[in-house]
Amino acid sequence: MCKQNNKSKDAPQSGTLKGTSKSASPNKMTNSTPKGKYVFGTVKVGEKGQIVIPKEARDVFHIKPGDMLLVLGDEQQGIGIVKSELLREFAEQVMNAREIKED
């Protein structure tokens, strides 16, 4: 008898680094990782192009369901994901900055 898997075939899979457990603290995943830098493991891209952000990453960066994320890309360095509210806050600071007059 086969055990039924509740995940759909399109559901992305997530994982952790070899040698770490799902309950491992992100800071303790590797001893050589500088403070504030993280390796959360690998994720698998589903058939619809979706990924699951590891729970540890969601916890560290306070990502909640419904949050808007901005996906950035650099052909040489890869993909980055940031909360869109950070970009909005930066844009507001730029717009509210006072003009500096040059003499």
Residue 11's nearest CA partner among 57, 49, 58, 56 is 49
C-alpha to C-alpha distance for 96 and 78, rounded to whole angstroms:
31
Residue 31: predicted pLDDT = 59
Residue 96: predicted pLDDT = 85
Residue 28: predicted pLDDT = 47
pLDDT, block means (10 residues), the chain with 103 residues: 42 40 46 86 96 96 94 92 86 79 69
C-alpha to C-alpha distance for 25 and 95, rounded to whole angstroms:
38
Residue 55: predicted pLDDT = 97
Predicted TM-score (pTM) of this structure: 0.57
Residue 47: predicted pLDDT = 97
